[in-house]
Amino acid sequence: MSESATKPMVTATLDGRTVTVPKGTTILQAAETVGVWVPHYCYHPGLSSPAQCRLCLVEVQGAPKLAPSCVTELQEGQVVHTESPKAKEMRQGVLEFYLANHPLDCPVCDQSGECKLQDYVHAEGRVHGRSREPKRGFGRDDYGRDVLFYGDRCGRCTRCVRFMDEVAKDPRLTVVERGNRSVIDTFFEEGLQGSAFAGNIVDICPVGALVSKDFLHKARAWDLDHSPSVCPNCSQGCNIDLHVRDDVVQRLRPRANLEVNHHWMCDYGRHRYEWMNRQDRIEVPVVGSSADGVALEWGLALRQVADRLANAPQPVMAVASASSSNEDLGALAHLVRALGGGEIVFRSERAEKEIPLPGFPTLTRRYDLVPNRMGAEILGMTRVGKDDGTGGLEGWAAHRGTLLVLGDELRDVGVDFGPSAGLYVYLGSYPTPAASSAHAVLPVTTFAEGEGTFANVEGRVQRFWPGVRPPGLARPAWLVLAALVERLGGAAVPESAEAAFLRVAELAPELQGLTYEAIGTQGALLNEPVALPGSRS
Amino acid sequence: MAYPYVHEKEVQIVSRGWGKPRTRTIDGWRELDGYVGFRKALEMGRAAVIEEVKKSGLRGRGGAGFPTGLKWSFMPKEKRGPHYLCCNADESEPGTFKDRELLRWTPHQLVEGCLIGALAIQADHVYIYCRGEFFEANQVLARAVEEAYAAGLAGANILGSGVSIDVTVHQGAGAYICGEETALMSSLEGRRGLPRVKPPFPAAVGAFGRPTTINNVETLCAIPHIVRNGGEWYRQWGTEKSPGTKLFCVSGHVRRPGNYELPLGFPMNELIYDVCGGFEEGRKLKAVIPGGASVPILSADECLACCLDYEGVQKSGSMLGCASVIVMDDRTNIVKQVRRMVEFFAHESCGQCTPCREGTTWLSRILRRIEGGKGTEEDLETLLALGTQMTATTICVLSDSAAVPVASSIQKFRDDYLALIRRGEAVGVV
């Protein structure tokens, strides 16, 4: 805000609309502020603009030639037409050139349905191309890592080359040859091997030239539901979309957030989504020990668990997970408080090193490989155990009080966990031997199935939305825990994740004043955020 | 050894001394009043040099014909870091061979012109970007630069004046597109030779991100004479708007093709029939390309009244360009000639802009098909439409250049195309 107040502004007319933007704004960006989308390939908001795709040319009244709107700054009083006959005719011409050597293999192309060439040609292209000449062929190339190159589909926009040069600062791609023979290629044989961010070039490719091996032929773009989410694979909290078909997460795609991840995400995070599709799930509440446990519907299960909790043996100890949302963790903290208080610990995996994105170091694969360590810590939970996410619970075997577990699979602990506990309640998504001694096992949803918030390494609270339907009777942990609190005489069950979030603020002053609306899709900083090296201030 | 042929109507200014190996040496050049202009320029000061060049009306000889003095005055007056002068010696327009001779025979003329130009625009460094295939010219030029350094005419504190100008000869690697000024700068910087978007113009952001002026070899070669003799002196030749002399590279079906230095405004008829000796017995004029492959072709009728200056050629429907006059007699298969030119542009397109990358190849393929007798009349309409789609839609003008000969030849020699399309017979054989 203060920036625009001090910067000189220019006012111009764009397609009959008046636009006022800071001086130095390009015509293309200015057009977007009034909802005019100028077609383009080579321009990308996160990269430099070579103005070579020639699709974003617009008519500037008084200028002899059409101007590339991605690099032409809007001038005071200018009259710009993006839809004039001249501009449209030119676009139709350029699109015809794009198709002259394009294989038109949309039926087998992964990009089909989210392809800019398809979109633009469908909107403005000629009904029939005039080319009668044989098409030039390049074939395919394996660039290494997850990336395949279909040369025939390539429009030579060079976004991939510029991403590797400017953002990854790891120039592994280049244009070889000249003219119609020019093609994107790798240097030497290693290709993209060793690059930690190469997956982004698949996202930014406007056509189907660069495709992901992992996603190849898995789903058609139009069958995918996109739900906004936050990458759960490290504490950076890159904004992402879950692309889901038939309740199966098919891929993760970065979602723009200029403060967190710009338009990018790392390959580490991108390729860790298979666990969201795990089919071995706890689907029904089971109350009773493993030998005589009974599957119950929720009402009965909650009543029985609440009855036992009413006389919970002391002391109360709980194991939480830094992969749980603030809402879940807050509800757990409320329950522990309702039981008279107790220690809550969590274990989390930590990497040996961070992996920064050189061109945008705010985006770094962080040490903490969990999304919500910050949230757990502001709720007073203590991290225990080793950096591989194990250990720290050695003394708990002999615990005779009440034991609560939320989310941690306790893989390293095994069947020996909690046999002597007076009361052991396990809330989780996946069956685990460590729950075999539990007096109650309650199914909860995963992050992909629920709504909630994470606080990232910087202290930015970010929302995620449900993308997948939960299996069986799994319910959000905050709902289950709040129901127990209510049955113990506490506050009524919150009606929504948002209400659950507002209740978390009672325990953490850092969250006070934040609402789901304020967090929105781009997140909001905690009251005391952490200054990160390399972050934008 | 005399230079192959000098016609009596020629006015030898920049071509004086051609053919004499001695002119290549610094002493030989001094005998022709060499470096007198540069000494004078040092005394005059840079503002007066620009004034004198403006007064001469000298226009850029690379093809665009932009007034040189005006171009120099676009450079920032206040210097806040290095300025550069680039000499465009990447001569590769089909039909052009004037710079090669200037480089081969009078390298010191160019070095002197470069030094004066650098002085005028306060350049610290002159880069002579020389076409890679000009092996001899490169060697001759490098020797001349060495001699200039040895004589204290280049380098630090030239002749005790306090002015320092370095001169570097940079050998290109054989891309036509590097003759485009922004591509030349990219190539000079060690990048791919890709044209850049203007603005920013080179005078603001040029080579290595610094203010830069790019001048053609022939332009810079005329500078020492203008400074030595004064701007008014240069105006005694040529026309009001196109003063001075120009090297005409005449090629094709004339008896005496070659380089001829003639006053601008020289009648084309006289050039073809008198200076170049006309055609072989029984042959007559069919077409002329007056300014290199990228200008519209002129039919025989249009050539009759054509005067060879920037305005005169424009009036006849073409452009003077770099004055590479390609003369074709009635044996010429126009379709084949146009196809060859378009294939050249397709081969040399840098591939950045879509209309050029795809369009040049597409045009050449259609033309090849027509030439092979497999064309249709519809193809002619497609060619013209593609030409329109390729014009004024790209970063540089290579795309426009490829479309020009196609459109102008279809317009003026449609019958040649139709003969191939309808009967599969070519008009002409070469």
Residue A303 burial (10 A CB sphere; 0-12, 13-18, 19+)? middle
Distance from CA of A53 to the nearest CA of B (A): 6
Does the beta-carbon distance from A97 to B389 stay under 8 Å? yes
Tokens of B318: 């073409």
Q: How many CA atoms are closer than 13 Å to the CA of B164, on its beta-carbon side?
A: 5
Average pLDDT over residues A234-239: 96
pLDDT digit string (tens) for B36-93? Answer: 999 999 999 999 999 999 999 999 999 999 999 999 999 999 999 999 999 999 999 9
Q: Which residues of A360-394 are buried (b: 16+ CB within 10 A; e: fewer)?
A: bebbbbbbbbbbbbbbbbbbebebbbeeebeebbe
Q: Is residue A76 part of a domain?
A: yes
Residues of A in contact with B175 (CB under 8 A): 178
pLDDT digit string (tens) for B298-351? Answer: 999 999 899 999 999 999 999 999 999 999 999 999 999 999 999 999 999 999
Among A34, A57, A83, which residue terminates a domain? A83
Does the beta-carbon distance from B352 to A52 stay under 8 Å? yes
pLDDT digit string (tens) for B205-241? Answer: 999 999 999 999 999 999 999 999 999 999 999 999 9
Among A58, A83, A108, which residue terminates a domain? A83
Task: With cut-offs at 50, 70 and 90, classify the pLDDT of residue A530.
Answer: low
Task: Give which of B352, B367, B370, B379 to mutate to test A binding, by max A Cβ within 10 Å.
Answer: B352
pLDDT confidence of residue A395: 80
Distance from CA of A277 to the nearest CA of B (A): 42
Average pLDDT over residues A127-150: 93
Q: Say how far apart CA B270 and CA B283 lie, in whole Å.
A: 17
Q: Is B383 on the interface with A (CB under 8 A)?
A: no
Q: Which of A207-221, A350-364, A365-379, A518-532 has the lowest mean pLDDT?
A: A518-532
Q: Is residue A247 part of a domain?
A: no
Between strands A316-321 and A402-406, the pairing is parallel
Residues in A lying within 8 Å of B, measured between beta carbons: 50-55, 57, 64-66, 68, 71, 90, 93-94, 96-98, 100-101, 130-134, 136, 155-156, 175, 177-182
Q: Is residue A474 part of a domain?
A: yes
Q: Is residue A216 part of a domain?
A: no
Does the beta-carbon distance from B349 to A100 stay under 8 Å? no
Q: Is residue A249 part of a domain?
A: no
pLDDT confidence of residue A2: 45
Chains A, B: CB contacts under 8 A, how many?
94
Over pLDDT 90: what percentage of chain B? 96
Does the beta-carbon distance from A52 to B192 stay under 8 Å? no
CATH number at residue A420: 3.40.50.740
Q: What is the span of the domain harbouring residue A59? A: 2-83
pLDDT digit string (tens) for A466-487? Answer: 999 999 999 999 999 999 999 9
CATH number at residue A77: 3.10.20.740
**Mean pLDDT rounded to a whole number for chain B:** 95
pLDDT digit string (tens) for A29-53? Answer: 999 999 999 999 999 999 999 999 9
Is the Cβ–Cβ distance between A39 and A31 less than 8 Å?
no
Closest by CA to A497, choosing from A476, A472, A512, is A476
Distance from CA of A65 to the nearest CA of B (A): 6
Task: Give which of B182, B358, B370 to mutate to test A binding, by max A Cβ within 10 Å.
Answer: B358
Does the beta-carbon distance from B358 to A55 stay under 8 Å? no
pLDDT confidence of residue A537: 37
What residues have CB less than 8 Å from A287, skipping those under 6 apart? A293, A294, A296, A300, A301, A304, A305, A439, A440
Q: Is residue A55 part of a domain?
A: yes
pLDDT confidence of residue A418: 85
pLDDT confidence of residue B39: 97
pLDDT higher than 80, residue A128: yes
Residue A457 burial (10 A CB sphere; 0-12, 13-18, 19+)? buried
Residues of A in contact with B365 (CB under 8 A): 133-134
Is the Cβ–Cβ distance between A148 and A211 less than 8 Å?
yes
Question: Number of structural domains, chain A?
Answer: 2
Q: Is residue A74 part of a domain?
A: yes
pLDDT higher than 70, residue A528: no
pLDDT digit string (tens) for A380-402? Answer: 999 999 999 999 988 887 788 99
Compare CB distances from A182 to B351, B360, B392 and report the shortest one's residue.
B351
Compare CB distances from B354 to A50, A53, A181 and report the shortest one's residue.
A53
Average pLDDT over residues B362-389: 96
Is the Cβ–Cβ distance between B218 and B98 less than 8 Å?
yes
Secondary structure class of A299 (helix, strand, coil): helix
Long-range contacts of A312-315 (CB under 8 A, 24+ apart): A312/A339, A312/A340, A312/A401, A312/A402, A312/A422, A312/A423, A313/A400, A313/A401, A313/A402, A313/A421, A313/A422, A313/A423, A314/A340, A314/A342, A314/A401, A314/A402, A315/A342, A315/A343, A315/A401, A315/A402
Distance from CA of B345 to the nearest CA of A (A): 9
Q: Say how far apart CA B187 and CA A161 lie, in whole Å.
A: 18
pLDDT digit string (tens) for B408-428? Answer: 999 999 999 999 999 988 888
Q: In whole angstroms, what separates CA A172 from the centre of its chain?
A: 26
Q: Say how far apart CA B129 and CA B185 lie, in whole Å.
A: 9
Does the beta-carbon distance from A54 to B353 stay under 8 Å? yes
Q: In terms of DSSP H, where are the helices of B320-397? A: 334-348, 354-371, 377-390
Over pLDDT 90: what percentage of chain A? 87
pLDDT confidence of residue A535: 46
pLDDT confidence of residue A1: 41
pLDDT confidence of residue A325: 96
Compare CB distances from A54 to B355, B360, B362 and report the shortest one's residue.
B355
Q: Is B348 on the interface with A (CB under 8 A)?
A: yes
pLDDT digit string (tens) for B259-313? Answer: 999 999 999 999 999 999 999 999 999 999 999 999 999 999 999 899 999 999 9
In order of their start, the domains of chain B are 21-234 (3.40.50.11540), 245-329 (3.10.20.600), 334-423 (1.20.1440.230)
Task: Give which of A178, A181, A183, A184 to mutate to test B binding, by max B Cβ within 10 Å.
Answer: A178
Is the Cβ–Cβ distance between B358 and B346 less than 8 Å?
no
pLDDT higher than 70, residue B356: yes
Average pLDDT over residues A353-378: 95
Q: Is residue A489 part of a domain?
A: yes
Q: Is B266 on the interface with A (CB under 8 A)?
A: no
Average pLDDT over residues A89-93: 95
Q: Is B361 on the interface with A (CB under 8 A)?
A: yes
Does the beta-carbon distance from B392 to A50 stay under 8 Å? no
* Amino acid making up residue B191: R
* Amino acid making up residue B351: G
pLDDT confidence of residue B299: 96
What residues have CB less than 8 Å from A253, skipping those under 6 apart? A203, A226, A240, A241, A243
CB atoms under 10 Å from CB of A344, counted, come to: 22
Among A17, A51, A83, which residue terminates a domain? A83
